[in-house]
Amino acid sequence: MPQKNLRVEFMAMTPDALSLIYAAFRQCYHAGFVADMWPKLLSGEVDPEVQADFVSKTMESGHDSPVEHVSFTFAIEGISRACSHQIVRHRLASYSQQSQRYVAENDMDYILPPAIAKIPEARERFEQFMGEVQSAYSDLRQILVDHGRKSKANEDARFVLPQAAETKIVMTMNCRSLHHFFHLRCCNRAQWEVRAVADAMLEICKEKLPALFTKGGARCEQLGFCPESPKFACGKYPTREKIS
């Protein structure tokens, strides 16, 4: 029943992402049919740096709906069920999560919060409880099997599993939704675990599609001020009230 650490891996993204976004933007301002320029974009006849510059400048104007044509897919492990519940609140995305109904937690992995890990007595009590949970789950599952539940035993025994139980998830988001995700979850006010997920995803996006994500992150990073009220500001940037 080991402690698990976060792992975020890139799986896939829409092919020819930069050219696709460039073409989608151009169609909004171009009298012709962008399908006719598509072969030139793919061949490099239109310099990729020109495409990237156009996309970046258009994004800065606030026009961002064309980036929905491109999506990223990530595989994530080493997060708690508590963290996954925050992630799936982002509705414009697709998720495939490890099922506690079909996957038996015979050796439950878990996530240990850093604030608990650094206090010896808190860590000891936390790990003791994880052991108690594991024992209760295993006992209940076996009792249910013995009483004929067989493969259905998992779905009832799982009711004792904690928010700390580790889970794995495959997640796909389009680029507009990713920016929104980063605005909220890279913020210093975001919960530590989901912020770590968002930071790892952002680094991947910056590497794979810099024209779109170099300036990605918490909203304050683009605005140059904190959009929160003074009550909730972390202090990294001045609030709107202080710069107006």
Would you state the pLDDT for residue 243? Answer: 79
What is the dihedral sign for C-alpha 40, 44, 47, 53?
Answer: positive
Give the model's confidence band at 60: pLDDT under 50 very low, under 70 low, under 90 confident, else very high.
confident
Q: Please tell me the predicted confidence (pLDDT) of residue 121.
A: 98
Residues 77-96 have pLDDT tens digits of: 999 999 999 999 999 999 99
User: Degrees (nearest 5) of the Cα angle 115, 162, 1?
Assistant: 80
pTM value is: 0.94
φ/ψ (deg, to 5) at 167? -140, 165
Q: Is the pLDDT of residue 206 over 70?
A: yes
pLDDT computed for residue 1 by the predictor = 60
Task: Give the integer Cα–Cα distance in Å for 152 and 103.
Answer: 11
6, 196 Cβ separation under 8 angstroms: yes
Cα–Cα distance measured from residue 209 to residue 87, given in angstroms and rounded to the nearest whole number: 22
For the chain, which residues make up each domain, given as ranges? Answer: 8-75+167-243, 101-164
Catalytic residues: 185
Residues 6+ apart with CB under 8 A from 166: 4, 77, 78, 79, 80, 108, 109, 110, 111
CATH 3.30.70 fits 8-75+167-243, yes or no: no
Per-residue pLDDT tens for 178-188?
A: 999 999 999 99
Q: Mean pLDDT of all residues in the chain?
A: 95
Residue of 219, 174, 173 whose CA lies nearest to 66: 174
Which residue in 137, 189, 197 sits closest to 169, CA to CA? 197
Cβ atoms of 76 and 10 closer than 8 Å: no
Query: What is the Rg, in whole angstroms, of the alpha carbon atoms belonging to the chain?
Result: 23
pLDDT, residue 151, reads 86
